[in-house]
Amino acid sequence: MVALTVLPCARAQEGSATQFKKEEIEQLVAPIALYPDALVAQILMASTYPLEIVSAARWSKANPSVKDKALEDEMQKQTWDPSVKSLTAFPSVLAMLNDKLDMTQKLGDAFLAQQKDVMAAIQILRAKADKAGNLKSGKEQKITTTQQDGQTVIVIEPTNPQVVYVPTYNPTVVYGPWPYTAYPPYYYYPPGYSAGSVFFAFTFGVAVGNAMWGGCNWGGGGNVYINHNTYNNFNKTNINTGDWNHKPEHRKGVQYRDQATQQKFGKGPAQGADSREAFRGRAEQGRQEIARGGADNLKGRPAGGDARPSAGSLDLSSKGAGDFSVQRPSGSRDTGAFDGIGQGGHTRDVSNRGAASRASAAGHSRPSGGGGGRRR
> What integer is the mean pLDDT of 167-195?
84
Please indicate, yes or no, whether residues 255 and 272 belong to a single structural domain of this protein.
Answer: no
Asked if 123 and 153 touch (Cβ cutoff 8 Å), the reply is yes
The verdict on 219 and 87 lying in the same domain is yes
The answer to whether residue 35 sits within a structural domain is yes
pLDDT at 121: 97
Q: Could you tell me if 135 and 90 are in contact, meaning their C-beta atoms sit under 8 angstroms apart?
A: no
pLDDT band at residue 290, thresholds of 50, 70 and 90?
A: very low
pLDDT of 303 higher than 80: no
Same domain, 66 and 215: yes
Residues 110 and 228 in one domain: yes
pLDDT, one tens digit per residue, over 189-199 is 766 655 554 57
Report the alpha-carbon distance of residue 105 to residue 50 in Å, rounded: 6
Q: Return d(Cα 179, Cα 64) in angstroms, integer.
A: 39
> Is 358 within the bounds of a domain?
no
pLDDT single digits (tens) 221-242: 899 999 988 998 888 888 888 9
Is the same domain home to 293 and 236? Answer: no
Instruction: Find, among 320, 217, 334, the residue nearest to 282 by Cα.
Output: 334
Residues 29 and 79 in one domain: yes
Q: Does residue 350 sit within a domain?
A: no
Positive or negative: CA dihedral 186, 187, 190, 191: negative
- The tens digit of pLDDT for each residue in 36-88 reads 999 999 999 999 999 999 999 999 999 999 998 899 999 999 999 999 999 99
Top pLDDT among 123 and 334 is at 123
What would the DSSP string read from start to end of 208-250? -TT---EEEE-SSS-EEEE-HHHHHHHHT------B----GGG
C-beta contacts of 344-351 below 8 A and 24+ residues apart:
344/292, 344/293, 344/294, 344/295, 344/296, 345/293, 346/295, 347/290, 347/293, 347/295, 348/293
Q: What is the pTM of this model?
A: 0.68
Q: Report the percent of the chain where pLDDT is more than 70.
A: 64
32: pLDDT strictly greater than 70: yes
**Same domain, residue pair 291 and 261:** no
Q: Per-residue pLDDT for 12 more than 50?
A: no
Helix residue spans in the chain (DSSP H): 11-14, 22-29, 37-46, 50-62, 68-75, 82-86, 91-99, 101-113, 115-131, 171-174, 228-235, 259-265, 268-271, 273-291, 344-364
Q: What is the share, in percent, of the chain residues with pLDDT greater than 90?
A: 50
Q: What is the pLDDT of residue 149?
A: 87
Classify residue 143: in a domain, yes or no: yes
Tell me: do 76 and 88 sit in the same domain.
yes
Range of the domain at 285: 268-330
- Mean pLDDT, all residues of the chain: 75
Residues 322 and 236 in one domain: no
Over residues 117-142, the mean pLDDT reads 96
> How many structural domains compose the chain?
2
**In the chain, what is the greatest distance between 2 CA atoms, to the nearest angstrom?**
104
Asked whether residue 58 is assigned to any structural domain, the reply reads yes
Residue 87 lies in a domain: yes
Residue bearing the bigger pLDDT, 352 or 45: 45
How far apart are alpha carbons 219 and 242 in whole angstroms?
17
CA–CA distance, 109 with 14 (Å, rounded to integer)? 12
